[in-house]
Amino acid sequence: MWDPDDVALMLKKYGLAGGFYINPLHFTGIGKAFENADMSVPGDHTLEGASVALSASARKKALIGGASFNKDYLEPMEYSDHENISNASDGFWGSQVERNWGSVAWSSYGSILEKLEQQFPQTLSLTVKEVNPEFNLVEMPVFALGYNWSASNDDSGKYAADKIKQWVAKAKQRAADIGAQCPGAIVLTHSMGGLVARSAAMIHGAAGDIFAVLHTVMPTDGAAAAYKRFHFGFEHPEFSIFSPIDGAFERAGYVVLGRQGQLVTAILGHMPGGQELLPNKRYKDNEGKAQWLTVKNPERNWAVKWFSDDEPFIELPKRNPYTEIYRREDRMYRAANPEWLFPEGMEDLPPTKSGFQYFSEVNKDAELFHDILVSSGDFHEVTYLCYSDDPGLKTYDRVDWESAKPFGSWGRDVSEKDVSADRTEDYRREGLLWGSEEDKEISGGWVGTDFKIAAPSGAGDMTVPASSGRFAAAVPKSRRTGHKSGYMHEPALKAGIVETWVKDTMVEVLGKCTLY
């Protein structure tokens, strides 16, 4: 069960299984002495490791149901009722329940659904007539379509295509009965829903039933944050007096979705949908650079910079992030730590396959999905997209592994041994709910190298970088809108600037309608 609108459920099943622990030494004089010296209290690392492993096992059971992924374990809720939507029939098109509004999270999408149904039709009818006098909006039924975010976007795309075809067929029959015309569906997406819609249109044959697609905050070619979260969990959001509500939502997500890398890897390491959010072969950072991951040499001392530069030790990918990064089991920068994939143990699984092989199989399918999507046309021919291009909302558009090495400032470089998996097996404690992102690092030991991921610095929405819109070259530039005064990722469709963009774009789309 995954229901973001049920706060009690989410906190009980996921938030309270967040790997929290209490070390009794913190309440003693010894513990206070260590705290005052800014040192870890003895036992913290061991206790947190045990607590997080137990929590990861519980979360995996709740979201996957078994050792490996089953796409039928979580199913979208269809035509369900709840207190925010109406069960009263609206004539031919039925009630909001019958139009599947209960299948999506009301906290994220309720506002835009209500405006699309109650406010947009009259505004659209009047405004479109100014550019297209022949246009007359007769009816505009609004449907919602939830999907299984854990499953592959290929499977979700097929599910969406079937629904779209069913609803458009009904609309075209209705149009014929009343002497009107139906050009097809205008599909509005949010985040990963953009990948679902592209899959539905281009892979599963719904393109002919769709008049236009409007994407918001879509991870067009993945997002670097997805990679970072495999290692160190979701970001600890800072409180902002300017957006306390949105910030509270992000902080809740930090706890519910996983504040530790182990909590994330135990789940997304097996979920096709999660792995399809990793940067694909076409991903670029905000500067347009394809090498979005680096392992940097230590910062150089000023005295030796004249003979030792600051060039990164590694810049990846050269061509393929799946083989060069994610599936490099022998490197610390792989996507998944094998020890985190099966926190419940592998005793009941065949001994012929390692934990990392399970991850690799899902990862290969994620790679294949993106390849098929591109070869199938990638985008519907009438596609518009908007994205946050706000430099104030710091977003991972790239991942820079920073190294700290004994005497590194005097010219000692990172080596292949330093990034090998057997030299970097120790993930240090990541802090509690109120902890700092700065606490998250991989330790190579006192004679090795410690690595941490540099703080995000790119423009975006704190999850999806601006590059997802800037470099979506298959969509004409005139149909891509970046908002410099942006918005956070999850509540994007509640932002006034996005609502205005949706309305204006629908006016443009309908203004070009020529079915007469």
* pLDDT tens per residue across span 353-369: 999 999 999 999 999 99
The total number of structural domains that make up the chain: 2
242, with CB counted inside 10 A (0-12, 13-18, 19+), is exposed
Residues 138 and 275 placed together within one structural domain of the fold = no
Contact 100, 79 (CB under 8 A): yes
Residues 212 and 243 placed together within one structural domain of the fold = no
Residues 334 and 442 placed together within one structural domain of the fold = yes
Residues 149 and 14 placed together within one structural domain of the fold = no
Nearest-angstrom CA–CA distance, 355 and 375: 31
Question: How many C-beta atoms lie closer than 10 Å to residue 271's C-beta?
Answer: 22
Query: Is residue 476 included in any domain, yes or no?
Result: no
For position 370, what pLDDT does the model report? 99
Q: For residue 481, what is the enclosing H or E element?
A: strand 480-483
For position 244, what pLDDT does the model report? 45
Residues 36 and 96 placed together within one structural domain of the fold = no
For position 85, what pLDDT does the model report? 92
CA–chain centroid gap for 511, Å, is: 33
Query: Is residue 169 included in any domain, yes or no?
Result: yes
Nearest-angstrom CA–CA distance, 418 and 255: 32
Query: Is residue 316 included in any domain, yes or no?
Result: yes
Residues 128 and 28 placed together within one structural domain of the fold = no
Query: Is residue 86 included in any domain, yes or no?
Result: no
pLDDT in tens, the chain (516 residues): 455 555 555 455 555 555 555 566 666 787 778 777 776 666 665 556 666 777 777 777 677 767 778 888 888 888 888 888 999 887 899 999 999 999 999 989 999 999 999 999 999 999 999 988 888 899 999 999 999 999 999 999 999 999 999 999 999 999 999 999 999 999 999 999 999 999 999 999 999 999 999 999 999 999 999 999 999 988 766 544 444 444 445 555 566 677 788 888 989 999 999 999 999 999 999 999 999 999 998 876 655 555 556 678 899 999 999 999 999 999 999 999 998 999 888 888 888 899 999 999 999 999 999 999 999 999 999 999 999 999 999 999 999 999 887 766 666 678 888 888 887 777 765 444 445 666 678 877 656 788 999 999 999 999 999 999 999 999 999 999 999 999 999 999 999 999 999 999 999 999 988 754
Residues 164 and 312 placed together within one structural domain of the fold = no
Query: Is residue 481 included in any domain, yes or no?
Result: no
Residues 372 and 319 placed together within one structural domain of the fold = yes
Query: Is residue 474 included in any domain, yes or no?
Result: no
SS3 content of the chain, % helix, strand, coil (to 5): 40, 10, 45
Which residue range(s) make up the domain with 191?
91-216+486-511
Residues 353 and 444 placed together within one structural domain of the fold = yes
Nearest-angstrom CA–CA distance, 468 and 223: 8
Helix, strand, or coil here: 327?
coil
Contact 221, 282 (CB under 8 A): yes
Residues 210 and 226 placed together within one structural domain of the fold = no
Residues 307 and 434 placed together within one structural domain of the fold = yes
| Closest C-alpha to 452, from 232, 219, 144, 141 | 232
Residues 377 and 275 placed together within one structural domain of the fold = yes
- 278: Cβ contacts below 8 Å, ≥ 6 apart: 222, 226, 227, 321, 326, 335, 363, 366
For position 243, what pLDDT does the model report? 47
| Closest C-alpha to 153, from 67, 218, 61 | 218
